[in-house]
């Protein structure tokens, strides 16, 4: 039985981001949605399986190919990672507490960043 709440829809397009730095991200078409795997294809790619939950390619080792429901979802993830790297850079290069930053604000940021 297919998950009714799944973001994957047969016939819809999705965005494939290959693990290879030489390969270009591209649009693919979803042709089958199961309970665990989504199958997608293009003219030169057929039958690859991706996790319904994570979008990670089946059998991936190392940096896996990943399927996103839309290009905008991938772009948002790229922006989130870039923002995180920028924050880490600032924190790693800030040896003194910035002026005006209270202990409460630091504890609130810590709480936000460690919440699960």
How far is Cα 15 from Cα 40, in angstroms, rounded to an integer? 10
Looking at residue 108, what is its pLDDT? Answer: 94
pLDDT, greater one: 30 or 4: 30
How far is Cα 55 from Cα 67, in angstroms, rounded to an integer? 5
Nearest to 31 by CA among 23, 42, 44: 42
Residues 53, 98: one domain? no
Domain count for the chain, please give it.
2
Domain hosting residue 84, numbered range: 73-114
What is the chain's alpha carbon radius of gyration, rounded to the nearest angstrom?
A: 19
Residues 81, 46: one domain? no
In the three-class reduction of DSSP (H, G, I as helix; E, B as strand; rest coil), residue 114 is classed as helix
Residues 61, 90: one domain? no
Residues 86, 56: one domain? no
Q: What does residue 42 show for φ and ψ, rounded to 5 degrees?
A: -135, -170
Residues 57, 82: one domain? no
Share of the chain above pLDDT 70, in %: 91
pLDDT band at 5 (very low <50, low <70, confident <90, very high): low
Residues 65, 77: one domain? no
How far is Cα 2 from Cα 49, in angstroms, rounded to an integer? 15
Residues 65, 44: one domain? yes
Are residues 38 and 32 in contact, defined by beta-carbon separation less than 8 angstroms? yes
pLDDT band at 23 (very low <50, low <70, confident <90, very high): confident
Share of the chain above pLDDT 90, in %: 59
Q: How far is the CA of 23 from the CAs of 18, 19, 51, 69, in angstroms? A: 6, 8, 20, 19
Per-residue pLDDT at 93 exceeds 80:
yes
Looking at residue 87, what is its pLDDT? Answer: 92
Residues 60, 25: one domain? yes
Residues 29, 62: one domain? yes
Residues 20, 61: one domain? yes
Residues 63, 79: one domain? no
Domain membership of residue 6 (yes or no) is no
Which residues are registered as beta bridge partners of 37?
51
pLDDT band at 41 (very low <50, low <70, confident <90, very high): confident
At 24, list the tokens: 């270009």
């Amino acid at each position: 039985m297919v998950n009714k709440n799944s973001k994957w829809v047969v016939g819809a397009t999705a965005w494939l981001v290959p693990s290879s730095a030489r390969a270009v991200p591209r649009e693919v078409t979803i042709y089958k949605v199961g309970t665990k795997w989504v199958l997608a294809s293009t003219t030169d790619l057929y039958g690859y399986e991706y996790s319904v939950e994570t979008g990670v390619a089946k059998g991936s080792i190392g940096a896996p190919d990943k399927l996103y429901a839309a290009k905008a979802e991938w772009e948002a993830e790229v922006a989130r990672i870039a923002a995180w790297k920028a924050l880490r850079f600032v924190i790693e290069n800030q040896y003194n507490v910035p002026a005006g930053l209270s202990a409460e604000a630091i504890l609130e940021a810590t709480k936000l960043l460690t919440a699960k």
